[in-house]
Each structure stands twice: as C-alpha cells, then as structure tokens.
Amino acid sequence: MRPIDVQRLTVGDTTDRYTRMIRAKSATGALAPGTAEVYARDVLTFAELAGPERVLDDLSGADVDEVLLKFAHKPDGRRRSPSPSPGAGGPRAAARQSAASQARFRRSLSAFFRYATITGWVQLDPMRAVTLRPKDRGGLRSQRRALTTEQADGLLGAARSMVSAPADPARRADQRTELRDALIVLLLAAVGPRVSELTRADVEDFYVNAGVRYWRIFGKGGRTRDVPLPRAVTRVLEAYLADGRRLLDKGREPKALLLSWRGRRLARGDVQGVIDRVLARVDPEHRRGVTPHGLRHTTATHLLAAATDMDAVRRVLGHSDLSTLGRYRDELPGELEAAMRVHPLLGAEEP
C-alpha cells in the first residue's frame, strides 16, 4: 500500500520546485552558480523527455532507462558532427551527446531522485532499478580529451595568426572578433579555466604586479586564485583591451572582459563556437575537435608532462585536492620514450 505521505506531484511540478531550490542554494552561496545551472538544465531536460504531465511517483526504472536513451540520442546543440550527415537537416548535423554528458546527466538525475525520496515525492528511487549501462547507450567511450603537442600547436598557431590577420572588409568594424577569439583560445589552453570562470571574468580581474600580468580567477566554492599569464597571452590580452574590446563595447557591460558583437557579456554556450572558428584555420592534418573542458585537460596534461610541480598545476586549475589531477592527466604519444631518454640516473642519451 502506498504511504499516505507520498505526494502525487507531476514531473513538471517537482522539477520546477527542485530547480527553485538549487537556485536558492546558489544565491546563498551553498552551491556554485555554474553547478546549479547544470543541475537545473538537466532536470528540466528530464521533464521534457519523461513528460511533464506524468506523476513522478509512477515512473519506473524502465521509464528512466527510456529517458537515458532519449538523452543519449538528443542532438548536442553546442557542437557539430565532423562529417556531413545526409538527411539530417543540413550538411553538418548536430552531434549526439558525448559519454561525459551522458554520465553528467545520469548524476544529475540521481541527485534529483535522492531529493525526491527525502521530500516524499516518490516512494522508491527509480534510479535503483535502472538497467542500462553506458555501453547500452550507444557504446560511447570518452575520447582522450587533451590535445597532442602537434594538435595544440596547430590550434595556438591559428589563434596567434588571427592577431595580425588583416580585417575582413566584408564585416562591420563592431563585428570583428578575431582578437577576442584568439584571446579566448589562448586563455583556455594556457591557464585551463572552467568555461564559467572565463565568461565571468571582468577587465578589473587582470592586473600587473612587478611587471607580470595576473588573472584573478573567481572559482568554485567562492575560492579565488591569482594566475600569472605567459607573455604570449599577455600580448594578446593587451592588444584586445587596447583595440578589440573597444570595437565591441557598446556600454552595456562595462566590466565584462569578453563581449559579443552586440556588446553583451559572452555566454558560456558561445565559447564552443569560438573554438570551432579557430579550429577551422588549422591544417586538417593537425586538427582535432576539442571542447573548453578538453582544453582544460590539455593544460593539465602538458604542464604535468613538462614535470611542472603538481601542486603548482593544482593551483593553476583551481582544484582543492591534488587527487583530482589524476582525472585531468591524459597520456601523450611518445612521453615515456622521451622520459627514458633523459633518465635522471643515466643521463641524456647521445643523439
């Protein structure tokens, strides 16, 4: 018999209440704003896929399995397929959800149903009856996220070339975003910020101390970190502040570092488009699609491969624990061979 304290609320009602709750936690500082928005977006997507008019307590594990399958095949609007997809509404169809996105969506649902169980919206947590495993959702495996040295050099070289490239005469002056796009890619690859940290950055967060330009990054949990910028990044930043940002500034967001051509603070969802535009300039032989988070992995991987102190890398990325670095470290081709050629006990090999 159903307990009398179970509330017969619809999926739409419960997800709306849950969304308000996590946004309230964000407003009080109990939850990072970026994390709250991810949870909110995922549960609202769940409501759309499950049917907002259905009673939440009536959902079974099979129903959640169906939602997970639907999400796996849902186009990812942030990215495009690398090859044409006939009959998909255009020459470049939207890519499906990555394995990482599917795993994140599943975690969001688990958190939602734990809360629903506590509040009496469901009698039993249907996540316990879910039978699908990642391989059943299409066999997607997480691709190595970090770019190789050649791929990273190609991307950064393309970004630097945009700084001195002649302006496109077909575009209005206030729509020329080459300097801004180059700066975004260089900051992502050199410093490895979270995309939310990048888009929240203000002009005043960049300061000079003893001749070195620093970026004060406001990270998760209210933590801040001051990261010195490499000279190559500093030069592009100063060029953007002196010229590129001035073209985009319409007085609407006087503090924001990164502006859209409409003069608004750049949105998180726009950053992937910036990366893709820079990637289009890379030699196809060294081009590989990458997300903002993939560039964060690239930063960690190459700093660690260069024997940079682990605690310094942790501080650059804004991790609270060294153990987190293990999830950001990818293997690089040839790194073991290179390490053994300069073995500290045997000395460097003869060329």
Pairing relationship of beta strands 94-96 and 224-228 according to DSSP bridges:
unpaired
The DSSP element (H or E) to which 146 belongs, if any, is: none
Angle between helices 149-164 and 268-279 (to 10 degrees): 90
48's CB contacts (< 8 A; 6+ apart) are none
Active site members: 194, 220, 293, 296, 319, 328
Q: Which residue is it, tokens 């209440």?
A: 17
Residue 95, SS3 per DSSP: strand
Q: Which residue is it, tokens 């070289």?
A: 157
Terminal Cα-to-Cα distance of the chain (whole angstroms): 79
Contact 80, 93 (CB under 8 A): yes
Return the ∠ at Cα 107 (arms to 95 and 61), rounded to 5°.
95
Sign of CA dihedral 342, 345, 346, 347: positive
What does residue 227 show for φ and ψ, rounded to 5 degrees?
Answer: -115, 125
Q: How does DSSP classify residue 286?
A: G
Q: Which residue is it, tokens 């990642």?
A: 134
Q: List strand residue ranges (DSSP E) for the chain, in order.
A: 75-80, 94-96, 206-209, 212-218, 224-228
What does residue 115 show for φ and ψ, rounded to 5 degrees?
Answer: -65, -40
